[in-house]
Structure 1
Amino acid sequence: MWAATLLFSAFLILFNYLYCVKPRNYPPGPKWLPILGSALSVSRLRKKTGSLAEAMAIFSRKYGPVLGFKFGQERIVICYGGLAIKEFLNTESLNGRPMGPFYELRTFGRNGILLTDEQFWVEQRRFILRHLREFGFGKRNMSEMIEAEADVMVNHIKHLIGNQKEISAPMDTMFGIHILNTIWTMLAGTKYNPEDSNLKYLQNILTELFKNIDMIGTIFSYFPFLIYFAPEYSGYNLYMKTHVPIWKFITQEIEKHKKTHVPGSPRDLIDVYLEMLAAPEKPASFTDDQLLAICLDLFMAGSETTTKSMSFCMLYLLLNPDVQRKAQTEIDMVVGRDRVPSLNDRPNMPYLEAIVMETLRHFMRRTFGVPHRALKDTHLCGHFIPKDTMVIPTFHGIFEGAECMWKDPYAFRPERFIVDGKVKALDMFIPFGMGKRRCLGETLARGNLFIFIGALLQNFDFKVPAGCKPPTTDTVDGVTAAPRPFRVLSHIVQRDPTITHTPAIVINNSLCMIYR
């Protein structure tokens, strides 16, 4: 009896010791507790600051630009600050993607383009980019496609206003379907009505998911046994509740293509991929599950970040009417009001392009990059990074923290990107990352923001009505930061005989959109 007790006690002591001891020269950070690792320290500081990015800023001030954590069995390294992030993103051995249930459940294993790596990722990314270009990606007709969708968006807003006294709509879903249409047209040859109830439902559940998880993962990421013993508490139920209807939606789209696709006459990327699947000597990486996973990645990542960027832009345009006036003057001089701005106008519209860049900077201030994985034992800024360690950059230090290159990081000031009348980005303006893992959708995202913002400012003014408080600039944590939820309320403003158009939209009783 005593021997068994002593043996068990010795086992526990040895287990705790081995669990809590960090690898030699591992990046510094808070102490590791048995089982929990750093989870409790991070949770407490995050709750205190209200933001995971702010918590990492405090840890960085104490421990340095490369931070070492452990959650359950998972080793996690956070890069904070420009020099550390630059070295990290350019280190070949850190270009892997994480493993585990959180990342593998969504695509039936390690499929897709967002969370795959090595030769599989290289082969699939090359194929996707090559064929997306055939359907407009990065070409002149991409601008035409975005322009058409921007025109639909403006007319939809005008229709919502109509002659009614008021119509309420949430800002976080105002642009989502329009942005999704710009990628989905090339991917699936389909455009959806902004009032499509199924797409609105999918957007709502995605918003809920992205609000309740983050780039570091969720509880069941680090303690997988909780999937079976505490599926609700661990976040597993929410995770599956969100993914199942999206899998169904995409599967139905692929099945439609299988029935209507004419071999040799592809209409979009799905058709091209189906032809590859039917090829007698197709590479092993091309499968039905991989096609579904690619569609899922582009559906989720392709709309979520740009939609949130648009929300940030609308928020800051409201709070900075002088920025609106300057942009509208530029639009009137270069484009006029008879057509939507196009990407060909960019060289002549530095201020609008600077608004896009300042929007991206504010969106990225509290955002983490997609997690990487060490493909082998390696080093980062002199610290040892063991194989399979997850490494994640936080852009807080670059765009907001004490070491950022902007004197007034909290202000929305597009002029910071204009030098001698031309747009100029600082060296560490990297909202889309850098290196081989640079965001695949950068061209489309920048194009969407330029044309959509331009079309809105071309047609509407944004004002804070008298007696109303401006909305807060506080953010909501999640996969990416988001403005605090607010709704759009449209109503008819008293008509001024000197102004041709006067309907308005009010956000949180704080924002007027007035026809110009």
Structure 2
Amino acid sequence: MDTTWLSTLLLALIVSCIIYCAWNAMWREHNLPPGPTPLPIVGNVLQMRTGEMVKSLLEFREKYGSIYTIYFGHKPVVVLCGYELVKEALVDHPEEFEARGRLPTLDSFVQEHGVVFSSGKRWKDLRRFTLTTLRNFGMGRKSIEQRIQEESGFLVTAIRSHKGKSIDPRSLLVPCVSNIICSIVFGDRFEYNNESFQKLLSLFAANFRDMSGTWGQLQHMLPNIMNYIPGHHKRINTQMTNLANFILERVKMNQETFDPNSPRDFIDCFLIKQQQEKDNPNFNKENMTMTIMNLFFAGTETVSTTLSYGLLALMRYPEIQARLHKEIDRVIGENRIPNTEDRNKMPYMDAVIHEIQRFGDIVPMNLPHQTARNVNFRGYTIPKGTDVYPLLCSVLRDDNQFATPYKFDPNHFLDNNGCFKKNDAFMPFSAGKRMCLGEGLARMELFIFLTTILQNFTLTSKTKFTDEDIAPRTLGFASAPISYEMSFIPRVGSY
């Protein structure tokens, strides 16, 4: 009897057991937070739901607590859940957790360029410049608020052109919101049906889908394996290259008519900075291109998706919509455009917008952080260079901070007298040094756009939406509402 195959199988089993025991002993030597036992090569990936990374991370929390460690391949990731832990890391220990973590779906293209994906001095230089430019932009031809008000007028006109017919609101919300970034970066806006503009928005949408889909999630967790496997994730770099080429063409156009004494937009401001700091490699072409791309991603997708959530929620709860109509009529009336000063007089609108952002939970995982040095945290030792995931979804739905975390309720942000009430666990823009640099712009856009829409229209749909319909759908690294159609019915007397 030939026993060669049996001997081979037995040898393979013995070798596998030795490898597993050595791996098991190695990962347990570290004083990292507890977590599920990883396998060699794949780590904990096989223990996660396919295409449902956020749900899997929340399920691990139920078993291992609010701080635990998982492995993506051989790389450990420390996961932080709940307001107290996330605040302690990002707010109380900002320097230790300030570095940007790995994003394998983009890292090979980005190569740590741009304000979002860089760390250290490069990140600090780019962030300081970008913040200053955004804050001072009102010193140009138009302030940012005026640009948003102007765009809200174009949005109302576009909505009226459909004469109350049922439409997908994203077809108008996405170009509307993106035009604000276009006006800041390029100095002008696009017509909603402009072919080049639509191509740009389609590239962003396709890239977002591929990054968030199952293939993109696998690329994120097992890059060393997925780099050799065909799939949708292979399209990401091509799409990013096309986006970069579009931006570089606009930079070239600016350079041909550039006047350093009269900056027209973000590109001009960056070109001036390049001249001022010729010896600083952080202000090069690659960082300019990626920073502009960062602004587009953050400024288009998040705000337009939040508005989509908001319109859907207000159709589910018409009593909330009716109360907002009354507040708008009382404070603003029919004949003028809303402005940011109105917000202080409109506590209910303020509370509703906060609740839309909390409930919509647009970026549930946050962007990954990384320890900038060895960190002693909650009795554990987290080595320098370890990826850290502060889950924003666990903060925005922390039942110690919100009475009914899984229910849409503006009362989460109102006191007993109907006045607006702050909540420190409201972190849709993250927290600490890596907090979203476009927070002020996003808040302004959400208020002016939503208030203007409700000033002019009543939101209706042929579909009877349920609580399940408005619950966030997590797609990989982001949440999005269901696809839906609705009608904008003009209010009597609206301008």
TM-score, normalised relative to structure 2? 0.88
> Counterpart of 1:470?
465
How far apart are residue 215 of structure 1 and its match?
11
- 1:67 is paired with a residue whose SS is strand
Mapped to 2, the partners of 1:204 and 1:18 lie a distance apart of 48
Q: Which residue, 450, 470, 489 being the options, matches 1:513?
A: 489
Unaligned runs of 5+ in 2: none
How far apart are residue 112 of structure 1 and its match?
0.2
User: Do structure 1's residue 242 and structure 2's residue 244 form an aligned pair?
Assistant: no
> Counterpart of 1:495?
none
Q: Assess, with a 3 A threshold, how the Cα gap between structure 1 residues 209 and 474 changes in structure 2: closer, same or farther.
A: farther
How far apart are residue 122 of structure 1 and its match?
0.9
CA contact (8 A) 2:79 2:391 kept: yes
User: Do structure 1's residue 105 and structure 2's residue 108 form an aligned pair?
Assistant: yes
How far apart are residue 113 of structure 1 and its match?
0.5
User: Do structure 1's residue 89 and structure 2's residue 115 form an aligned pair?
Assistant: no
Q: Assess, with a 3 A threshold, how the Cα gap between structure 1 residues 455 and 128 changes in structure 2: closer, same or farther.
A: same
Q: Assess, with a 3 A threshold, how the Cα gap between structure 1 residues 422 and 338 changes in structure 2: closer, same or farther.
A: same
Q: One-letter code of the match for 1:106? A: F
CA contact (8 A) 1:277 1:288 kept: no
Mapped to 2, the partners of 1:43 and 1:23 lie a distance apart of 28
- 1:111-130 counterparts in 2 under 5 A? 111-130=113-132
How far apart are residue 305 of structure 1 and its match?
0.9
> Counterpart of 2:72?
71
Q: Which residue, 263, 266, 283 being the options, matches 1:269?
A: 266
Percent of aligned pairs sharing the same letter:
27
Q: Assess, with a 3 A threshold, how the Cα gap between structure 1 residues 215 and 449 changes in structure 2: closer, same or farther.
A: farther
- 1:69 is paired with a residue whose SS is strand
User: Do structure 1's residue 16 and structure 2's residue 12 form an aligned pair?
Assistant: no
Mapped to 2, the partners of 1:53 and 1:344 lie a distance apart of 37
> Counterpart of 1:496?
none
> Counterpart of 1:416?
412
How far apart are residue 75 of structure 1 and its match?
1.6
> Counterpart of 1:395?
392
> Counterpart of 2:482?
484
- 1:218 is paired with a residue whose SS is helix
Deviation per CA, 1:2-26: give whole Å up to 9, x if none. Answer: xx99999887555434444334221
Q: Which residue, 35, 41, 53 being the options, matches 1:29?
A: 35
Q: Assess, with a 3 A threshold, how the Cα gap between structure 1 residues 366 and 126 changes in structure 2: closer, same or farther.
A: closer
Mapped to 1, the partners of 2:240 and 2:436 lie a distance apart of 23
CA contact (8 A) 2:361 2:472 kept: no
Q: Which residue, 169, 189, 192 being the options, matches 2:190?
A: 192
User: Do structure 1's residue 299 and structure 2's residue 296 form an aligned pair?
Assistant: yes
Q: One-letter code of the match for 2:177? A: I
CA RMSD of aligned residues (A): 3.0
- 2:305 is paired with a residue whose SS is helix
> Counterpart of 2:435?
438
How far apart are residue 212 of structure 1 and its match?
4.2
Mapped to 2, the partners of 1:455 and 1:33 lie a distance apart of 54
Mapped to 2, the partners of 1:277 and 1:431 lie a distance apart of 33
Q: Assess, with a 3 A threshold, how the Cα gap between structure 1 residues 220 and 152 changes in structure 2: closer, same or farther.
A: same
How far apart are residue 228 of structure 1 and its match?
5.1
How far apart are residue 65 of structure 1 and its match?
0.4
Mapped to 2, the partners of 1:140 and 1:412 lie a distance apart of 36
- 1:462 is paired with a residue whose SS is strand
Q: Which residue, 31, 34, 48 being the options, matches 1:42?
A: 48
> Counterpart of 1:153?
155
Deviation per CA, 1:99-132: give whole Å up to 9, x if none. Answer: 464342332x111001111111111111121122
Deviation per CA, 1:205-252: give whole Å up to 9, x if none. Answer: 4334334434996323444444553131xx432312431321121111
- 2:138 is paired with a residue whose SS is coil
- 1:388 is paired with a residue whose SS is coil
CA contact (8 A) 1:365 1:399 kept: no
CA contact (8 A) 1:147 1:341 kept: yes
> Counterpart of 1:427?
424
Q: Which residue, 369, 374, 383 being the options, matches 2:371?
A: 374
Deviation per CA, 1:75-111: give whole Å up to 9, x if none. Answer: 212111111111121322111112464342332x111
Q: One-letter code of the match for 1:38? A: N
Between structures 1 and 2, the one with greater helix share: 2
Mapped to 1, the partners of 2:409 and 2:448 lie a distance apart of 19
Q: One-letter code of the match for 2:129? A: F
Mapped to 1, the partners of 2:99 and 2:44 lie a distance apart of 23
How far apart are residue 315 of structure 1 and its match?
0.7
> Counterpart of 1:176?
174
- 1:174 is paired with a residue whose SS is helix
> Counterpart of 1:500?
none
Q: One-letter code of the match for 1:97? A: R
* Segment of structure 1 superposing worse, 271-280 or 372-381: 271-280
Deviation per CA, 1:132-157: give whole Å up to 9, x if none. Answer: 22312999932222111111111111
Q: One-letter code of the match for 2:58? A: A
TM-score, normalised relative to structure 1? 0.85
Q: Assess, with a 3 A threshold, how the Cα gap between structure 1 residues 258 and 177 changes in structure 2: closer, same or farther.
A: same
- 1:331 is paired with a residue whose SS is helix
> Counterpart of 1:80?
81
Deviation per CA, 1:35-92: give whole Å up to 9, x if none. Answer: 1111011226xx6xxx543333322121110121101132212111111111121322
Paired positions, count: 479
How far apart are residue 464 of structure 1 and its match?
4.2
